[in-house]
Amino acid sequence: MLGIADPQIWIGYLLAVGLTLLCIIYGAINWNKGDENDGS
Amino acid sequence: MAVNTLVLSVSTAIYLAVVIVLAYVGYKKTKKADDYLIAGRSISPIILALSYGATFISTSAIIGFGGLAGYMGMGLIWLTVLNIGIGIFIAFVFFGKKTREIGHKLGAVTFPDLMGKIYKSEFLRNASGLIIIVGMPLYTAAILIGGARFIETTLSVPYNTALIGFAIVVVAYVIIGGLIAVMYTDAMQGTLMAIGMSILLVLTYIKLGGVSEAHSALTSLSHLTPSSLASAGQVGWTSMPSLGSPLWYTLVTTIILGVGIGVLAQPQLIVRFMTVKDNRSLNRAVLVGGPFIILMTGVAFTVGALTNVYFQNTTGQIAIEAAGGNIDSIMPTYINAAMPDILIVLLMLVLLSAAMSTLSSLLHTMGSTLGHDLWHKANNKEASLRTSQKGTLLMMIVSVLLAYMLPISIIARATAMFMGLCASAFLPSFVMGLYSKNPSKTAAKTSLITGAVVWFAWTAFVHIKESGPLGISQALFGKATLLDMPWPVVDPLMLALPLSTAALVVVWLLERKRIAPQTKESMDAN
């Protein structure tokens, strides 16, 4: 994939990008959750 | 360095002026001990994320580990996977929220204070404090030396002047503005780091003809792997080393798992979760933290590996040869050779930022531990701003002395050693403290002692990278390591963390067994 033959490497890259997206999506979805007034 | 000295000096002066302004803002906002120790629990999520990230990423993560990727290849990307998955997502979403809630409820202001209050144990507070006071100066000395060497070569300042000057600038803003100044400067430094590393990645791919082209060119260089590396297990720069080879063990156990897991139990990072007022801030910080880390380590490891293609194209050498055999010189040599002047200046400030942000946070953590947790509590006094400031100054002096006294072979191992020690000693009891309704003090003590002792024993007598330079095993038993392969290349964390976890679980179960009949007897008696 993208010039990298070893799946152990490109899976690492896919996971790194996927986890970054997870952080972005998690932060966006929970942007307003966990306010000090809502008790969570 | 090829860059005009005037441009470099002016840029550095502007950068330092911004640091001074932010230190002044910190000073104005620091009125009492809580402001100094945990920034008054009112830091914004973006500043938290950038500060956490900039503290997390030191110069060694970019220069040292980037160079290591130039030497060993792209397998280091797995460290980025753990940096984001564990160091950001799990750290903020699971550990961060609990730490904030419990820290706030108990009024904890430092990591040892938090451990002491969760377990209602002076022993745990003092033991955590001692591990920080003993272990962290080593890591701090490593950051100091790295920063000073970098200033020496880029600004042509004599080494001693660079080291002392660097130490004075950082200690001054930590003492004056406390954690608020530390986090504000971290955020500014983090922003510079994100911009600089993004440009570095884009320009590298442009220089090498595109993403796939650059990777394919790197794959095609596998036949150039030096024989010493090939015999240790290297099969190319776009492949993992052979499973079970010495290189594989070092990459997987020390670099990927050791540093990747170690981050969860770093006192200077944990304290940051207590600086925000609610969990919403932590949710928002995740959005910034993930992309920040991939821009740091992800870019450093990718560009580091790709320097082989650049040097092959321009000099006919692989990266380690072009850097004169020194892994730490791969990234600076590449930046100086391949990047335009203006970017060299920016990247110089990026690297200075990475060193300063980590150094200031370590210093603040050591100072508050010494002043607040050890000195104040021993004397039964309320926390005061002045004592933490004195503690910070004293710990900087200790770190500077260590930087002069310790052999470089030990300093080079300091980052991985400190992370391993923290994870082995603190992680199981910290997790139990956060998640158990009735955490066991005895189990936590046993786990902390087991983790620290096993980690030290393995470091001093088995793991060759530390046991060799330390010389304790050699002096006592006449050989650098007591066990045969593969044990000398298995990181201390791989043994110490499972054992400290097992100690915690076993003691906790035994205690429950002992308490259960007693409870039943007392219920029967009633």
Shortest Cα distance from B375 to chain A (angstroms)? Answer: 33
Predicted local distance difference test score (pLDDT) of residue B148 = 86
The rounded percent of chain B whose pLDDT value lies above 90 is 48
Of B41, B48, B77, which to mutate for an interface test with A (greatest number of A Cβ within 10 Å)?
A: B77
Predicted local distance difference test score (pLDDT) of residue B519 = 57
> What would the mean pLDDT of B347-362 be, rounded to a whole number?
89
Contacting residues of A for B69, CB less than 8 Å apart: none
Q: Place B480 in a pLDDT band, splitting at 50, 70 and 90.
A: confident
What is the Cα gyration radius of chain B? 23
Predicted local distance difference test score (pLDDT) of residue B152 = 83
- For chain A, give the number of residues: 40
Please give the residue of chain A at the shortest CA–CA distance from B90: A23
Shortest Cα distance from A27 to chain B (angstroms)? Answer: 4
Contact in structure between B434 and B95 (CB atoms under 8 Å): yes
| pLDDT one-digit tens code per residue, B415-425 | 888 888 999 99
Q: Does A39 touch chain B (CB under 8 A)?
A: no
Q: What is the mean pLDDT of chain B?
A: 88
Give yes or no for a cis peptide into B517 (omega within 30° of 0): no
Contact in structure between B259 and B68 (CB atoms under 8 Å): no
The rounded percent of chain B whose pLDDT value lies above 70 is 95
Shortest Cα distance from B299 to chain A (angstroms)? Answer: 11
| pLDDT one-digit tens code per residue, B241-254 | 999 898 998 888 87
Q: With 80 as the cut, is the pLDDT of residue B411 above it?
A: no
Predicted local distance difference test score (pLDDT) of residue B119 = 92
Predicted local distance difference test score (pLDDT) of residue A39 = 45
Please give the residue of chain B at the shortest CA–CA distance from A15: B81
CATH number of B5-406: 1.20.1730.10
Task: Tell me if A33 and B294 make a contact (CB, 8 A cut-off).
Answer: no
Predicted local distance difference test score (pLDDT) of residue B454 = 96
Predicted local distance difference test score (pLDDT) of residue A40 = 41
| pLDDT one-digit tens code per residue, B136-191 | 998 899 888 888 887 887 778 898 999 999 999 999 989 998 889 988 999 999 99
- More confident site: A25 or B377: A25
Predicted local distance difference test score (pLDDT) of residue B418 = 87
> What would the mean pLDDT of B265-272 be, rounded to a whole number?
88
Spatial separation of the C-alpha atoms in residues B77 and B83, rounded to whole Å: 10
Please give the residue of chain A at the shortest CA–CA distance from B219: A4
Among chain B, residues having any CB pair with chain A shorter than 8 Å are 74-75, 77-78, 80-81, 84-85, 88-89, 93, 97, 211-219, 236, 238-240, 277-291, 293-294, 298
Please give the residue of chain B at the shortest CA–CA distance from A24: B287
Contact in structure between A38 and B288 (CB atoms under 8 Å): no
> What would the mean pLDDT of B76-93 be, rounded to a whole number?
94
Q: With 80 as the cut, is the pLDDT of residue B413 above it?
A: no
- More confident site: B272 or B514: B272
> What would the mean pLDDT of B117-137 be, rounded to a whole number?
91
Predicted local distance difference test score (pLDDT) of residue B9 = 84
Q: In terms of Cα–Cα distance, which of B65, B89, B297 is closest to A13?
A: B297
DSSP conformation letters of B112-180? HHHHHHHHT-HHHHHHHHHHHHHHHHHHHHHHHHHHHHHHHHHH---HHHHHHHHHHHHHHHHHHHHHH
Predicted local distance difference test score (pLDDT) of residue A10 = 94
Please give the residue of chain A at the shortest CA–CA distance from B101: A40
Contacting residues of A for B89, CB less than 8 Å apart: 19, 22-23, 26
Predicted local distance difference test score (pLDDT) of residue B91 = 93
Q: Where are the domains of chain B?
A: 5-406, 413-526
Q: Does A18 touch chain B (CB under 8 A)?
A: no
What is the Cα gyration radius of chain A? 17
Task: Tell me if A34 and B280 make a contact (CB, 8 A cut-off).
Answer: yes
Predicted local distance difference test score (pLDDT) of residue B33 = 82
Contacting residues of B for A3, CB less than 8 Å apart: 211-219, 238
What are the residues whose beta carbons fall under 8 Å from the beta carbon of B506, sequence distance 6 or more? Answer: none
Predicted local distance difference test score (pLDDT) of residue B383 = 64
Predicted local distance difference test score (pLDDT) of residue B37 = 82
Residue of B240, B279, B286 with shortest CB distance to A27:
B286
Task: Tell me if B84 and A16 make a contact (CB, 8 A cut-off).
Answer: yes
